[in-house]
Structure 1
Amino acid sequence: MKKEILISIIIPVKDGDYWLDETLYAIKRQTIFYCAEIIAIDSGSTDSSLAILENHSVHLIQVDPTSFNHGLTRNIGVEAARGEFIVMTVQDAKPSDEFWLEHLLNGFENDANVAGVCGQQIVPHDLDKNPIEWFRPQSPPRIKKYYFPGPDKFENLSPSEKRSVCGWDNVTAMYRRSVLLEIPFKKTNFAEDALWAKDTLLKGYSIVYNNWARVYHYHLNEPEYVLKRSYTVFYHFFMYFGFKPKKVQNDLISMIRNAKVLILEKKLSVADKFTWLIYNWNLRKSINQSVALFLEHCSLGEDVLSQKHNEICKSVPAAIKPKTISK
């Protein structure tokens, strides 16, 4: 007898064996996994990802890697899903506790107009992850709901306000399947989630942010990766919301602030603290290089900007397995 499916969890997969087993076990430990299914969409993995997926008995969909698209490929999973609710996540994100699905689902309570609920990414206190980004909450989790009674109310927001309201995140998000069928993800190689949030708000639906629904997610970044990923983020948020980035602070004051944070972390050796201090300096340097490059191209017009984006970001920046990268 097949179990009753309420929630379908969709995970795009590509050479994710470093993370995948742990991610799937964490999902299966969810308190309400008994009414859930996992759909993995693999786009040409050549590592042991397929064997891991088979071991976990997930519903596997395979697509040609040349046809992968962050928006359209996810729509394939939605079409195949049996659940009333759809969860989007990624192969290297792990629920922080066993209540992740519950927290996402709770965001739909008593409001049929809620189209989706988005959680929060956090970075665990692991020695192989940037200590400056470790999760250090300053206040309890908050729940926010956004709704605009007419499209003009949203369009009258400033670019930064639009960007903030549509800070949607397919690393940890739940949707009504009926709404995803009505408003599917658009063809795009980045920020399909933010664009969906915009389209959904313009249609008169509500969206909810529930920071109780947390996942561990982290990328250790090399300069080239940072420059390309930052550029494509800037490009898409400018095209969607008219939002332009500003340079991040990267001077002696910012280095001193980082040093103070690192000094207080007793888990780190002196050598590690120094390594991470330099790492964060170079990280901010790469971001600022990307900002400067983007603003230069942006000043030349959208046609030139799009051309430069295609040249710089020929392929979608992807997470690098930690064991293959050096700080």
Structure 2
Amino acid sequence: MNSIKASIIIPTKNPGRIFQEVLDAVIAQKTNWPFDIIVIDSGSKDGTVEFVKSRPQASLIEIPASEFGHGRTRNLAISKSKGEFIAVITHDAKPVDDNWLANLVSCAESDERIAGVFGRHIAYPHASVFTKRELELHFSGFNLVPIVHLEDEDRYNSDVVYKQFLHFFSDNNALIRRSVWESIPYPDVDFAEDQAWAKLIIEAGYYKAYSEAGAVYHSHDYTLFERFQRSFDESYAFRRFFGYVLSPDLKFMIRSVGALSLRDISFAKKTGLIKTSPGTVLHAVVDNLMRVLGHYLGAKGDRLPAAIVSRISRDKKLFAQ
């Protein structure tokens, strides 16, 4: 009989010092059952491999960078694990406390129909005020309906917002049920493998859950160009895998930039930020422009030359290094 309740999978590629905090926080988890840890590294050159080897609680799998794939690499690591549940996090997602893993598993065990659980993201203390607010707004909405499944097929086929809500899943901080993964593994895609997997399990009739208590610190203060690249990757993937068009035309793009910027300026006025740090507010407004521009071009990614897509894509650059 398998005695491992949960396995923790962490893909790595030159994560820097933050990963040392992440791995030690994972090792320090308190549970009433055993768990194992697998780090799968795709060519780190920053001392990550040596650090993992210094922690006997974690197993290490090394693969060439050329073999990395978001879905493929996670599937490989999961296939080497033993847990009834699989926690999947990224190398910069640090558990907030030592009950993170137990909270995710407890949520999954509340209903055997739950195939996957995603947990809350909290911005790191050093993150910008707008990054913190964005994460708070995003994840607070899931508390209203923490467990979902496909209840209305007609609405699912006609309402893009409903479909996106059901598909949302983030394996920056997630737990999946092994028995479901065995029949529905991660798709071998180059981006959005987590939401592509959630689409499959939702359409197969399984439930999806959100755990506020199973939280990690995870945030990025992107430069303006990095924001553009990230948004391009997101929009390009969503168009290909789900048919979503995040920014269909210039008119929509302009309205979106205006709405997002008015929201941020209103917040800045209420908090006094517009007087104490006008540069931060200006950056947020330009960040909105870069976000929506990336969505606009990403929706047209299939029409762009491959060389342009390769130059724009942030994800392709990160894993080609």
Q: Which residue of 1 is the match for residue 237 of structure 2?
A: 236
Q: Which residue of 2 is the match for residue 211 of structure 1?
A: 212
Q: Distance in 2 between matches of 1:10 and 1:34?
A: 17
Q: Distance in 1 between matches of 2:61 and 2:239?
A: 33
The Cα of 1:26 is off from its aligned counterpart by 1.6
The Cα of 1:109 is off from its aligned counterpart by 2.6
Q: Distance in 2 between matches of 1:258 and 1:70?
A: 36
Q: What are structure 1's unaligned runs of at least 5 residues?
A: 320-327
Q: Which residue of 2 is the match for residue 63 of structure 1?
A: 63
Q: Distance in 2 between matches of 1:116 and 1:274?
A: 42
Q: One-letter code of the match for 2:184?
A: I
Q: Which residue of 1 is the match for residue 114 of structure 2?
A: 114
CA offsets 1:233-260 (integer angstroms, 9 cap, x no match):
1122222332222443348734532433
Q: Distance in 2 between matches of 1:314 and 1:70?
A: 14
The Cα of 1:102 is off from its aligned counterpart by 1.9
Q: One-letter code of the match for 2:214?
A: A
CA offsets 1:137-172 (integer angstroms, 9 cap, x no match):
77994552222379x557524222211111100011
Q: Which runs of 4+ in 1 moved over 6 A?
A: 137-140
Counterpart selection for 2:147 from 145, 149, 168: 145
Question: Aligned with 1:283: secondary structure?
Answer: helix
**Residue 167 (structure 2) pairs with residue 166 (structure 1):** yes
Say if 2:20 and 2:51, in contact at 8 Å, map to a contact too.
Answer: yes
**Residue 127 (structure 2) pairs with residue 129 (structure 1):** yes
Q: Distance in 2 between matches of 1:140 and 1:234?
A: 22
Q: Distance in 2 between matches of 1:233 and 1:75?
A: 21
Question: Aligned with 2:168: secondary structure?
Answer: coil
- Structure having the higher helix fraction is 2
- TM-score, normalised to structure 1's length? 0.82
Q: Distance in 1 between matches of 2:155 and 2:202?
A: 8
Q: 1:254/1:142 Cα in 2 relative to 1: closer, same or farther (>3 Å)?
A: closer
Q: Distance in 2 between matches of 1:30 and 1:133?
A: 27
Say if 2:85 and 2:175, in contact at 8 Å, map to a contact too.
Answer: yes
Q: Which residue of 2 is the match for residue 256 of structure 1?
A: 265
Q: 1:16/1:314 Cα in 2 relative to 1: closer, same or farther (>3 Å)?
A: closer
Q: Mean alpha-carbon deviation: is it higher for 156-165 or for 255-264?
A: 255-264
Q: Which residue of 2 is the match for residue 325 of structure 1?
A: none
CA offsets 1:69-94 (integer angstroms, 9 cap, x no match):
00000001110001111000011011
CA offsets 1:280-320 (integer angstroms, 9 cap, x no match):
1221121122233235x27xxxx52695645632853649x
Q: Which residue of 1 is the match for residue 73 of structure 2?
A: 73
Q: Which residue of 2 is the match for residue 188 of structure 1?
A: 189
Q: One-letter code of the match for 2:241?
A: Y
Question: Aligned with 2:182: secondary structure?
Answer: helix
CA offsets 1:121-152 (integer angstroms, 9 cap, x no match):
1213x2x31111225577994552222379x5
Q: Distance in 2 between matches of 1:261 and 1:154?
A: 37
Q: 1:44/1:146 Cα in 2 relative to 1: closer, same or farther (>3 Å)?
A: same
**Residue 303 (structure 2) pairs with residue 293 (structure 1):** no
Give the count of matched residue pairs.
304
Say if 1:154 and 1:202, in contact at 8 Å, map to a contact too.
Answer: no
> Once the two structures are aligned, what percentage of the paired residues are identical?
27
Q: Distance in 2 between matches of 1:142 and 1:16?
A: 34
The Cα of 1:200 is off from its aligned counterpart by 0.9
CA offsets 1:44-87 (integer angstroms, 9 cap, x no match):
00101112212222100001101100000000111000111100
Q: Distance in 1 between matches of 2:228 and 2:141?
A: 32
Q: 1:106/1:315 Cα in 2 relative to 1: closer, same or farther (>3 Å)?
A: closer
Q: Mean alpha-carbon deviation: is it higher for 306-315 or for 219-228?
A: 306-315
Q: 1:63/1:30 Cα in 2 relative to 1: closer, same or farther (>3 Å)?
A: same
Q: What are structure 2's unaligned runs of at least 5 residues?
A: 248-252
After superposition, the CA RMSD in angstroms is 3.0
Q: Distance in 1 between matches of 2:209 and 2:106?
A: 10
Q: Distance in 2 between matches of 1:261 and 1:81?
A: 49
Q: Which residue of 2 is the match for residue 50 of structure 1?
A: 49
Q: Distance in 2 between matches of 1:288 and 1:99?
A: 37
Q: 1:34/1:260 Cα in 2 relative to 1: closer, same or farther (>3 Å)?
A: farther
Q: Which residue of 1 is the match for residue 283 of structure 2?
A: 279
Q: 1:110/1:95 Cα in 2 relative to 1: closer, same or farther (>3 Å)?
A: closer
Say if 1:141 and 1:212, in contact at 8 Å, map to a contact too.
Answer: no
Q: One-letter code of the match for 1:130?
A: S
